[in-house]
Amino acid sequence: MHRFLLISCLALAACGTPYERCNREAARFYADALQEQSRISRDLARGFTYVTEWETRRRWQLCGIYYEHPHYCWRTESEPVTRRVPVRPYELHRRLDEIGAALPQLGRDAAAGQAECRRRFPAEVAAQTPPQG
């Protein structure tokens, strides 16, 4: 029981303080937009993207040994297969334009949310501010 309690406390501590979680949540949409913009730019520069699909295959495998003789049967397995797919430049450029138009507002929203977090958790802000002198 004590181990479970200790592991639970460590898992909660790994999530960060309420102030840090508030900051992450406030800037989440802005950070996601920047990540998507970076991914799209990378795909455009490369000319292709990767797509992972699951394929189901049947394999002839050893199922067991009966009376000292091997017994084989068909087994169905699903496995990921990653393929290169050419990009559609027109769609990606359009999406980049949309993200570029939305970024300023998302940045303002993130800054306002982080200001709200500083207002809600002043003690943690003071504890994280380095002493000046």
pLDDT, tens digit, for every residue of 83-117? 999 999 999 999 999 999 999 999 999 999 999 98
User: How many whole angstroms separate alpha carbon 74 and alpha carbon 100?
Assistant: 52
pLDDT at residue 8, as a whole number: 59
pLDDT of 106 reads 95
Say yes or no to pLDDT of 24 above 60: yes
Q: In terms of Cα–Cα distance, which of 37, 45, 41, 40 is closest to 107?
A: 37
Percent of the chain with pLDDT over 70: 82
Sign of the Cα torsion 74, 79, 83, 87 reads: positive
pLDDT of residue 1: 57
User: Could you give the percent of the chain with pLDDT greater than 90?
Assistant: 58
Q: Which has more confidence, 2 or 20?
A: 20
> 45-58: per-residue pLDDT in tens?
999 999 999 999 99
Residue 111 in tokens: 């800054």
In the block, tokens 């993130």 appear at 110
pLDDT at 3 over 70: no
